[in-house]
Amino acid sequence: MSNKNEKLPKAAITSEPVYHWIAEGVFFLFSFLFLGMYNGELLYKLQSSSLFLGNSIFAQESINQSAGLLVYASRFLIQLLFHPLLGGALLAAGLVGIERMIYILFAPKGTFAFLSFIPSLLIMLVQTSVGYALYDNFESSSIVSIELGTALSLALTLLFLLIDKEHRLWGMVANLLIAVLLFFGIGIFALLPVFLFAIKTRPSNRKEFRIASVAGIALLLLLPFITDKYVYQEKYIMAMLSPISDAYFSNLYHLSLAVLLSILLIAVFKFKDTRFSNRIMVINVFMLALLCYGTYHYSFRDENYRTELTLQHQAENMEWESMLNTVRKVKKPTQGIAAYRYIALLNTNQMDDLFNFPCRYDTIKSPYKMLTIEVYYPDLYFYSSQLNQAMMWNMEFWVNSGRNFGLLKRFAMFSLVKGEMNSARKYINLMKQTMFYSKWAYEHEKYIGHQDLLFHDYPILKLVNAMQIKEDISFGISNLPNTYIKYPSMDAANLQRRLMMDLYSKQTDQFMLDIQYLSDTYREKGSMPVCMQEVLALYALNKGDMTINRFPVRKDVIERVKNFVAAVQPYANDLDTGAEAMKDYEDDYCYFLVFSKVFPKEKKDKEEEKK
Amino acid sequence: MKTKLISKWVVAGLILVLSACSTKVPTDFKNNGKEVKIWPDYTQTVIPPNIAPMNFAVNADGDKCVVSIQPEVGSPIVISTGADKDIRIPLKQWKEMLNANKGKTLKYDVYVSLNGQWSHYRPFTNMVAPDSIDPYLTYRLIEPSYMGSGELGLYQYNLETGEETTIFTNHRGHKDPSLRSQKCVNCHSTQPNHPENKLFYYRGPNGGLILTYNGKVQRINTKAGDMYAGTVYPAWHPSLPFIAFSSNVIKQQFMSYDPQKIEQFDLYSDLVLYDIKKNEITAICKTKDKQESTPCWSADGQYLYFASSDSMMEKTGDFKHLLYNIYRMKFNASNKTWGQRELVYDAVSTHHSACFPKMSVDGYLLFVRANYGVAHQTHKSADLYLLNTRTGACRNLAEVNSPTEADSYHDWSGNGRWIVVSSRRQDGNYARPYFAYFDRKGKAYKPFVIPREDPHHDDYLLKNYNVTEFAKAPIVTHQCDIQAVIDAPAKDATYGSPIDKNAIDASSGASTVK
């Protein structure tokens, strides 16, 4: 240890300021890696779940709410997360800036120097704990506004203290005036400096402390009341704490409050320890490492969630093979992952593989109490050529989950394929007002009124268009298998899709009816998907239905089905054990049919069954 | 030194101001003889003498633009712009110009400069009508959604100044997802001869009819007696304290391929009368084999017009068989009794469906006709039709209708000289209010879209203008007062008609308070 000290320039490392710079450098690196790289897909999704349009209506709508200026600025800045490395670097720089200002303002030193990192780490935890709240009407720009607001608060406190140092009392007066003026624009972050100022001036000027404290508390109570009643008509507590997420998103709400509280605590308890030694430095290094690990550990890191985010990004870029590579690594998928896999299989003409995948789906683990949200519906229906349903679901997410870039882009794309060119023009023109989606908008403008060109450049969209079923049916809120079933007739290509959906929803009787229409097709082809062969074999074995004779079914498939039927019997009353014991059959449709827990039936179907 | 610096700034400022005031029409230009394209299209139309500045954007290649508006009386307004070519007309000069030119013509000269060369387009004109338009337009702004409605609100627009103010929004529910069920506000309406009396609906928990009458705001549960649903489409009596309502059980279906993706229809609907002073609901039409909806009063309050269908969804099973005619019934206000129903317009015999009748003060009945159903806002075949009730002549109001898109909800101005219609003609999806002048001979003129300070406002707006209605006076009730009424207990309306014990029992999508 002493040798090491001798090798290094002592003044450089063991002096606290130098140590702190180095610690900040390491912290920046950690933040950048954790946010920009590890959570890159999350950052991308956060921006695509947000919206910023460069027009007056959008500005008015954004600003006309509690902390509206901060919300508007955050909606603008969150666009930068389109490039996660850039976004990660900026967020990391902001976090280091916050840490540095806390260090300057409250100087936690010696053994407690690591404390100045806590608010930044908590902010990072807010940013990485969003989880499935993303799919609800969560204002994703709040992950920027908490950082921007905190930085602004601390900068204002520094400014007011500087003014106060030069001109006694004027710092406080400026502080209170700015707090009142800015409260409607930046919310709670306009009031935080009042309290920080009061705490900071307490030892030197009791009078200032008393005035600032009383005024701060009065403003904290009064300004939200005015906002609530006369300006924005919002809930009192929401008006007080804006732009912090509503208590509905409880984990984020509490973490955000913890950020504010941690700053106040650091300010109140002056953690000053003038000593600094190698031992203290080691303690600090250890504590900082522990805190960073804690942030990583307590962030929302569910693997399936992360996979879903990756799949959504890949689906947006139409990277079907990459999607299939992504899902290959999944051990126990969610229904969402299975849906995106379906889309990828559909678009790569590999539907035969549909059931070669784990089918006992994992439940979603979320710190946030979420509803079942089928975020994949717009894509699922779109690539299944059900364009009206795709548009309907896109609109549902638009109005219920919040308007965002991802949905706007889908509106434009769906309208182009549907041939609704005036709508497509509107959406594309709006996209031109954005920072990064404008490129896509300008590239796709040429397709307005030129569907042939679109279909030439995007063969997959040509297929989507060609596979539309021109016959009109009316439907309620149906899942995809039930949508297919509602069509009285359809062409062979769509009928094959319907057969797969019959199998997916375990409607094998319906499958046996539907497949009659394709006997010639499969006989001519000389082959058919193994999953379909299995069902024909099952019906022949169990029900004596000899439809199988009209189709090209392989003997080895029949043998395997026989073996499966024999093997599954002991587990008839204990499917969970059976599923574990019969893993050899996991890639078979028979296994799926018996053991999968997928596609919960629609409520209406259940009611009908009861009747 | 300091004084010199200040004086320099003053001089520079003065130059700026003077140059702004003295925008000049180019003298060195070429007449290109072309028609200029402007957005919105405000060319060759008739405009109200009290309308807000009708700003527009010039769609032409160029880096500068000058527009000179030349009246018959008074001096011209000259506006110059840069590359955006957005023409924003100063309010004060515009007002003075319109006031001095009632019944006269305004000529617009447009000059565009490209690479230093000015081009002059063929001028277009507008006629300033002698008749004013009602000063306010109320509407709901709502996404063109299917199931959920998202963030929406009621707004009023001052047609004289171009200022939009909020009446009520559901933004609380948008910010706090736990309040999402409190989301629908709609059907705003004012009493024609007493514009201070108003109503709208608030749906969801604590929902009901929010009624402002004689300055008092209250929330009323209008589902009374054996009504199977709450009240939906309102029609204020022109002057008496009565409101006729339809009570509808509304359902909707989605279409898999049709560009008209959604169809909204009624399973059942009847008409009721709400007596404000007695807080009492009485039945007007209570029919099991017919549907009645979209009521409206004649200007004298003696007749109630409404749409009625002999077909019921439960019988036909297909909403395309729901066809409505327009009927009317005489009203005796002294004892609240009704005459026999009289057929006013027979749409069914030509396999069409007519609804949303609206009477003007001078006896013109305007309604919407489409191929079927009642939710004409989504029907591309929906067009305005005009019936002269004195002569019985009826015609498609082709001069106002769009050729391919829905033209549906409409209203007359108080003087019967202006029509507003919600039309989806711009993109087939987002409805915008269009205004048209209607002269004393029964002729309508080319419609123009609502003027906004930013000519691109409606291009950016991702919401529909819904239930656009004229108002003679603004709504002054503050949103927080309305919220207080919503948070307070509702008043239950009583039921003054005999209760049918075998009445239909159906769940309603309409406003049920309980």
Q: Show the tokens assigned to B480.
A: 């927080």
What's residue A502's pLDDT? Answer: 95
CB proximity B93 to A under 8 Å: no
Identify the band that residue B23 occupies on the pLDDT scale cut at 50, 70 and 90: confident
Q: Does the distance separating the beta carbons of A483 and B460 come in below 8 Å?
A: no
Average pLDDT estimate for A365-370: 76
Q: What is the pLDDT of residue B514?
A: 31
> Strand, coil or helix: what is A519?
helix
Query: What's residue A18's pLDDT?
Result: 86
Residue B299: the pLDDT is 93
Q: Of A61-70, A118-127, B12-21, B325-334, where does mean pLDDT reach its minimum?
A: B12-21
Cβ–Cβ contact B461 with A under 8 A: yes
* Residue B162 pLDDT > 80: yes
Residue A47 confidence (pLDDT): 97
Give the single-character DSSP code of A33: I
* Closest CA–CA distance from residue A572 to any residue of chain B (Å): 40
Among residues B58, B68, B134, the alpha carbon closest in space to that of B420 is found at B134
- For residue A243, whether the previous peptide bond is cis, meaning omega lies within 30 degrees of 0, is yes
CB distance from B150 to chain A under 8 Å?
yes
Top pLDDT among A574 and A125 is at A125
Find, among A313, A340, A306, A305, the residue nearest to A324 by Cα. A340
C-alpha span between A488 and B262 (Å, rounded): 20
Across A192-219, average pLDDT? 86
Residues of chain A in contact with residue B486, where contact means CB-CB under 8 angstroms, are none
Contact with chain B for residue A233, Cβ under 8 A: yes
Closest B-chain CA to A424: B427
Per-residue pLDDT, A255: 96
Tell me: the pLDDT tens digits for B453-469? Answer: 999 999 999 999 999 99
pLDDT of residue B315: 79
Contacts of A163 (CB under 8 A, 6+ apart): A170, A171, A174
Write out pLDDT tens, residues B213-254.
Answer: 998 999 999 998 888 888 999 999 999 999 999 999 988 889
Burial of B251 (0-12, 13-18, 19+ CB in 10 A): middle
Measure in Å the smallest separation between the Cα of B272 and chain A Cα atoms. Answer: 30
Q: Tell whether A238 lies on the interface with B, counting CB pairs under 8 A.
A: yes
* Residue-wise DSSP of A475-492: ESS--HHHHHHH-S---H
A401 lies within 8 A of chain B by CB: no
Task: List, edge to edge, every strand of the sheet that includes B448-449.
Answer: B407-412, B418-423, B432-437, B448-449
In angstroms, the Cα distances linking A43 to A119, A431, B61 are 20, 20, 40
pLDDT confidence of B174, banded at 50, 70, 90?
Answer: low
ipTM: 0.90
Instruction: Please tell me which residue of chain A has the smallest CA distance to B454.
Output: A56
Q: What is the pLDDT averaged over residues A9-20?
A: 68
> If you count residue pairs, one on A and one on B, with CB atoms under 8 Å apart, how many are there?
124
Residue in B414, B495, B494, B493 with CA at minimum distance from that of residue B211: B493
d(CA B307, nearest CA chain A) in Å: 25
Note the pLDDT of residue B343.
97
- The dihedral region occupied by B299, where left means phi > 0, alpha psi between -120 and 50, and beta the remainder, is alpha
Interface contact flag, A399 B480, Cβ < 8 Å: no
Residue B41 has pLDDT above 70, yes or no: yes
When pLDDT is cut at 50, 70 and 90, the band that residue A122 belongs to is very high
B257:A468 CB<8 A: yes
| pLDDT tens profile A411-462 | 999 999 999 999 999 999 999 999 999 999 999 999 999 999 999 999 999 9
pLDDT, chain B, mean: 89
Residue type, A320: W
Judging contacts by C-beta atoms under 8 Å, the chain B residues touching residue A486 are: 256
- pLDDT for A5 beyond 50: no
* Partner-chain contact B146 A395, CB within 8 Å: yes
CB pair distance less than 8 Å for A472 and B428? no
Total Cβ atoms within 10 A of residue B351: 11
Which residue type sits at B399? E
Listed residue (B352, B343, B362) closest to B438, CA to CA: B362
pLDDT digits (tens, 9 = 90+) for A73-88: 999 999 999 999 999 9
Across A464-476, average pLDDT: 89
Is the CB of B178 inside 8 Å of chain A's CB atoms?
yes
In the predicted structure, residue B510 carries a pLDDT above the cut 70: no
Q: Is B429 on the interface with A (CB under 8 A)?
A: yes
For B256, the closest of A139, A403, A473 (CB atoms) is A473
Probe site for chain A from B145, B462, B464, B486 (most A CB atoms < 10 A):
B462
Lowest mean pLDDT among A352-366, B236-250, B373-387: A352-366
* Nearest Cβ partner for A475 among B172, B178, B256: B256
Least CA distance to B429: which residue of chain A?
A: A423
Please indicate whether, in this complex, the C-beta atoms of A388 and B258 are within 8 angstroms of each other: yes
Q: What is the pLDDT of residues A532-560, one digit of tens each?
A: 999 999 999 989 999 999 999 999 999 99
Query: Which chain B residues touch A475 with a CB distance below 8 Å?
Result: 253-254, 256
Is there a contact between B143 and A398 if contact means CB atoms under 8 Å apart?
yes
CA distance B447 to A368: 51
**For residues B202 and A573, what is the distance between their CA atoms, to the nearest angstrom?**
52
**Looking at the partner chain, which of A58, A233, A483 has a beta carbon nearest the beta carbon of B479?**
A233
Predicted pLDDT of residue B505: 42
**Residue B504, pLDDT score:** 47
- Single out the residue of A95, A20, A100 nearest to residue A280, CA to CA: A20
Residue A271, pLDDT above cutoff 50: yes
Choose, out of B157, B176, B430, B485, the residue to mutate when testing the contact with A (most A CBs < 10 Å).
B176
Nearest to A233 among B430, B454, B480 (CB): B480
Would the pLDDT of A167 be above 80?
Answer: no
Q: Check CB contact of B165 with chain A, cutoff 8 Å.
A: no
Structure-token pair, residue A339: 């849906």
Whole-prediction pTM value?
Answer: 0.91
A262 CA: distance to closest CA in chain B (Å): 25
For A336-356, what is each residue's pLDDT tens digit? 999 999 999 999 999 999 999
- DSSP lists the bridge partners of residue B329 as B304, B341
For residue B421, what are the β-bridge partners?
A: B410, B434
Most confident range, picked from A167-176, A366-375, B398-407: B398-407
> Residue A12: is its pLDDT beyond 80?
no
* Least confident piece of the model among A151-165, B5-19, B408-422, B492-506: B5-19
B175 and A476 within 8 Å at the Cβ level: the answer is: no
pLDDT for residue A371: 65
The Cα B220–Cα B212 span in angstroms is 11
Handedness of CA A246, A252, A256, A261 (dihedral sign): positive
Whether the CA torsion A319, A325, A329, A334 is positive or negative: it is positive
- The mean of the pLDDT values for chain A is 90
DSSP string, B368-422: EEESSSS-GGG-TT-EEEEEETTT--EEE-TTTS-SSS-EEEEEE-TTSSEEEEE
At residue A272, the pLDDT reads 67
B257: nearest CB among A232, A248, A469: A469
Cβ–Cβ gap B257/A55 under 8 Å? no
What does the pLDDT read at residue A70? 97
Please indicate if any CB of chain B lies within 8 Å of the CB of A135: no
Residue B18 has pLDDT above 50, yes or no: no
